[in-house]
Structure 1
Amino acid sequence: MKKDFMFTSESVTAGHPDKLCDQISDAILDRCLQQNPKSRAIVESAVSAAILFLAARFDADLSIDFTTIAREVIDSVGYHRTSFSGKNCSILSSLDEMSPENNFDESQLSDAEIEQITARDQATVFGFACDQTPVLMPIPIWLAHQLARRLHEVQLQNILPYLSPDGKTLVGVEYQNREPKRIHSITILASQNDPAAASLKQLRDDIRQTVVEPVFAEQTIQPDRDTRIYINPEGLLSPGGPEVHAGLTGRKNAIDTYGEYAKHSGAALSGKDPTRIDRVGAYAARYAAKNVVAANLARECEVQLSYSLGLSRPVSIQVETFATGKISEEEIARRLEQHFEFRLAGIIKQLQLRSRPSLSEDGFFRKLAAYGHVGRSDLDLPWEMTDRVDCLQD
């Protein structure tokens, strides 16, 4: 295991085509669950140039205006061009109804009945936590998300009105003895609607002043004189977005999770209702790993859950602490199995995943579709709670 190394993680803005597709898929899912919390839906989106394609399977008793939701999302992330906007984007759809007869209401199930609800997919999911940041996330992806969010804010708030919604950020961090020591590099790619709206020098100066400096103003690790800062190193990017590169739901799994600092499932998170174990299992694994680190049982913890069709419980619960554990990994796994709910219906019930979209008009799952499904300090996520610390310590 390496102790001294440099690691980079990237993030993208909410206007990146892949994240646009994730938000559209999850916004439709939110609407389905708002209409019927027990409904099921699988939604995938693809966008290119001025065309959006929607593929969805959903319960037959739902009545959802898919295209209107998609257009609202496109407008909300800031696409108002004559070539691409919520108003003029062509939308093609392939919609397939499925029977709602296999649905269940987990809130009414006894423990014995929860045991009878089996995984509907075969999946291996991962959760990770470490003590590098207050939210127990790896610092490269944490900083990359802060930069991406700020880059999109300065565009939406017209602080830099010439920017377009599409952008990317990358942060490199040097580690010594597996602890972050300095910022090695910062890279930001910002696109603009009109290449003549701002020169490359103006763009670089503006991004430094409005994005980089505010984000790092309160960080514990600051860029130093040797930190390499690259802003559009290959020149101006125009116009960005779907007209330049296509987008697809579920193509940014590393950005959705741990920035590749830790393992993540190959399955997409967005666009899937809570009965999909490859989505909710990843949340349960993060919940477990975060509580292990918060309980001071390890400084780093990766939890692996493997599910098989026809079984309610994971067939394997594995823990890796990267030589930072205070007790054995086998003992941590035993405590997790004792104190955490890893059954499909149990996860949904405990985290109240099907009722959450109805608690807010703007939904729940769509908010996860940009800037990470885990490690969010801006959202009240049940899998980010550290309320099981006492159980694990005992």
Structure 2
Amino acid sequence: MVIPPPFRRLGFPTFNWRNFQMVRYSEVVLPGHPDKVCDAVAEAIVKAALAVDPDAYAQVEVSVWDYEMWLTGSVVTSKRVPKLFKDIAKDTVIDLGYKSPNAYDARKLEVRCSVCIEIDDPRQYTHHVNDQCIAIGWAGYDEKVDYLPPEHFLARSFGAALFRSFSKGPLKGQGPDGKLVVRLREEGGEWILEYVLATVQQLNTTPFQDFVPLVTAVFEAQYHAVQDLDARWSRPWNDVEVLINPNGPLIDGGPLSDNGQTGRKLVMDYYGPRVPIGGGALYGKDPRHIDRFASATCKEAAIHAVQTGAKECQVTVCYAPNQSQPVDVRYEMVGRGKKLLEHRWSQSTPMDRVTMA
């Protein structure tokens, strides 16, 4: 970059691209966080509907506080779902790890269901676009980071490692609530992890001074596993600052300490804070719902562009009701990659790209 003479006289320095670096942040919450508990319950109800009718229509919202949970929305299937939605909800929360000896025992959960359940042909709702939608997809880097921003890939990797450890690892029985933040510097072709901040729920029978090193050990093992597959993670673990539970022990986690609702963790569900998102949540909606379909297709289009030559790609799409093809598709690429074939944007195409959580 050349700085014109007037700016030189004012003392603005010439930019040195060789020293260029970016500070990156990302955050995830664990599956036991109240918002993700609600997402999991909504998703379990959608899966139950799809199990009896692959064309099922579903739009389910969930909220929770303490030992009360509310289910709202609508489900349409051609056959009745055999299991009560209340029971699906309670079993889902228990399976996440909320049972004795955890401070939150979901067997005490009172579920209030006002979901409108209709036995009818759901294709009248699912086989056409029934709402408007703006969705954004992004891809960059390569498959080693799942085409995600590296900071979000690492945050997700750490979160998944913690949750696995709650069921079979050094943290067995701990959790399942928690959240974490990572910060790294992207410098040249390297990613320099600077710090990891985490708050993780624990059992009241585990001494805090024993718990913190266990969490740190899970992070260290996962970081080494990531490094073994990708040399761009260049900083040694011993040079990373780690801060665990700075508020002290978190015992009464989950809905005991925070309320939850579906669709409140959209940035985490998508690409992390450096990538814009569209307006639609993902969980609690059938695979043909335009929010879900459009976000999955945008992601597919962005990854395809990177796989065929682009260094980075962001795709924005807009759909209108009763039109299977989008009214607008916009690509923003660094480099040159191939665009998705036009028929892939049609909501009437098979749902092969939409995955259920």
TM-score relative to the length of structure 2: 0.85
Change (3 A) 1:132 1:102: closer
Change (3 A) 1:173 1:53: same
User: Structure 1 residue 99: deviation in Å?
Assistant: 6.9
Aligned counterpart for 2:159 among listed residues 148, 162, 169: 148
Letter in 2 for 1:217: H
Letter in 1 for 2:197: T
Letter in 2 for 1:67: K
User: Structure 1 residue 183: deviation in Å?
Assistant: 0.6
Change (3 A) 1:222 1:153: farther
* Structure 1 residue aligned with 2:68: 51
RMSD: 2.4
Aligned counterpart for 1:230 among listed residues 235, 243, 256: 243
Q: Which of the pair has more CA radius of gyration?
A: 2
In structure 2, stretches of 5+ residues that fail to align are 1-16
Letter in 2 for 1:215: Q
In structure 1, stretches of 5+ residues that fail to align are 107-116, 354-363, 369-394
Contact 1:38 1:105 in 2 (8 A): no
Percent identity, please. 26
User: Structure 1 residue 226: deviation in Å?
Assistant: 4.1
* Structure 1 residue aligned with 2:185: 174
Distance in 2 (alpha carbons) for counterparts of 1:53 and 1:84: 17
- The worse-fitting range, judged by mean Cα deviation, of 55-64 and 237-246 is 55-64
Q: Deviations over 1:36-81 (max 9, x none)?
A: 1112111111111111111130116442310111122111110014
Are 1:287 and 2:307 matched, yes or no?
A: no
* Structure 2 residue aligned with 1:351: 352
Contact 2:270 2:277 in 1 (8 A): yes
* Structure 1 residue aligned with 2:140: 130
Are 1:212 and 2:219 matched, yes or no?
A: yes
Change (3 A) 1:283 1:24: same
Distance in 1 (alpha carbons) for counterparts of 2:353 and 2:50: 12
User: Structure 1 residue 266: deviation in Å?
Assistant: 2.5
Distance in 2 (alpha carbons) for counterparts of 1:33 and 1:206: 40
Distance in 2 (alpha carbons) for counterparts of 1:236 and 1:216: 24
Question: How many aligned residue pairs are there?
Answer: 329
Contact 1:133 1:139 in 2 (8 A): no
User: Structure 1 residue 86: deviation in Å?
Assistant: 3.5
TM-score relative to the length of structure 1: 0.77
* Structure 2 residue aligned with 1:246: 259
Change (3 A) 1:222 1:198: farther
Letter in 2 for 1:38: D
Change (3 A) 1:90 1:158: farther
Q: Secondary structure at the match of 2:115?
A: strand
Are 1:275 and 2:295 matched, yes or no?
A: no
Distance in 2 (alpha carbons) for counterparts of 1:250 and 1:142: 20
Q: Secondary structure at the match of 2:87?
A: helix
Q: Secondary structure at the match of 2:177?
A: strand
Contact 1:21 1:45 in 2 (8 A): yes
* Structure 2 residue aligned with 1:379: none
- The worse-fitting range, judged by mean Cα deviation, of 51-60 and 26-35 is 51-60
* Structure 2 residue aligned with 1:197: 206
Contact 1:216 1:222 in 2 (8 A): no
Contact 1:73 1:86 in 2 (8 A): no
Q: Secondary structure at the match of 1:163?
A: coil
Distance in 2 (alpha carbons) for counterparts of 1:119 and 1:340: 15
Q: Deviations over 1:264-293 (max 9, x none)?
A: 122210000123111111000101110110
**1:22-171 alignment runs, 5 A limit:** 22-59=39-76, 61-64=78-81, 65-81=84-100, 84-98=104-118, 100-101=120-121, 103=123, 118-131=128-141, 134=144, 135-157=146-168, 159-161=170-172, 163-171=174-182
Distance in 1 (alpha carbons) for counterparts of 2:328 and 2:129: 14
**1:280-359 alignment runs, 5 A limit:** 280-296=293-309, 298-321=310-333, 324-326=334-336, 332=338, 335-336=339-340, 338-339=341-342, 341-346=344-349, 349=350, 351=352
